[in-house]
């Protein structure tokens, strides 16, 4: 299994919040973003979850001084995550679906990326 398929719903939610924001966020910022959507989650749960994402190498954590204490700011590095996750996902797909299916996905993805017609017309 890849790191991506091992992510829980809360981890994916926090990654999405971090991905949408250009600036690094504190755990409080993350908690407020999740709570603003009506999700009743404890601050400690958000903090533990984002720290777990740091351990998984999907989120970077920086430290800063604030009001006489130290606090962390978190950011999602999409390029680094892609570099780590895409090869793992590709290997998992090859194992499950086989090489021909993965090649079809690649052709479709490349074709969709160039703004052309549906990739199935080329096969």
Do residues 97 and 44 both lie within one domain?
A: no
Do residues 64 and 102 both lie within one domain?
A: no
Do residues 56 and 103 both lie within one domain?
A: no
Do residues 22 and 71 both lie within one domain?
A: yes
Do residues 33 and 63 both lie within one domain?
A: yes
Q: Would you say residue 117 has pLDDT above 90?
A: no
Do residues 69 and 101 both lie within one domain?
A: no
3 falls within a domain: no
Q: Would you say residue 123 has pLDDT above 80?
A: no
Do residues 90 and 118 both lie within one domain?
A: yes
34 falls within a domain: yes
How far is 35 from 32, CA to CA, in rounded Å? 5
Do residues 47 and 99 both lie within one domain?
A: no
Do residues 63 and 33 both lie within one domain?
A: yes
How far is 35 from 31, CA to CA, in rounded Å? 6
Residue 102 pLDDT: 85
Q: How far is CA 122 from CA 38, 94, 107, 112, in A?
A: 45, 22, 9, 12
Output the pTM of the full model: 0.69
Total of domains in the chain: 2
Whole domain around residue 90: which residue ranges? 79-122
102 falls within a domain: yes
DSSP bridge partners of 74: 25, 61
For residue range 53-112, what is the model confidence (pLDDT) as tens digits?
998 888 999 999 989 999 999 999 888 778 877 888 888 888 888 888 888 888 887 777
The CATH number covering residue 21 comes to 1.10.10.10
For residue range 22-45, what is the model confidence (pLDDT) as tens digits?
899 999 999 999 999 888 999 999
């Amino acid at each position: 299994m890849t790191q991506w398929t091992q992510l829980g719903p809360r981890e994916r939610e926090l990654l999405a919040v971090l991905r949408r924001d250009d600036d690094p966020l504190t755990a409080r910022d993350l908690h407020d973003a999740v709570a603003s959507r009506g999700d009743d989650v404890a601050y400690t749960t958000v903090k533990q979850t984002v720290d777990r994402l740091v351990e998984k190498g999907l989120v970077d954590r920086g430290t800063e001084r604030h009001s006489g204490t130290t606090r962390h700011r978190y950011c999602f590095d999409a390029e680094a995550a892609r570099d780590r996750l895409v090869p793992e996902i590709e290997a998992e797909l090859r194992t499950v679906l086989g090489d021909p299916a993965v090649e079809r996905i690649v052709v479709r993805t490349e074709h969709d990326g160039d703004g052309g017609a549906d990739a199935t017309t080329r096969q």
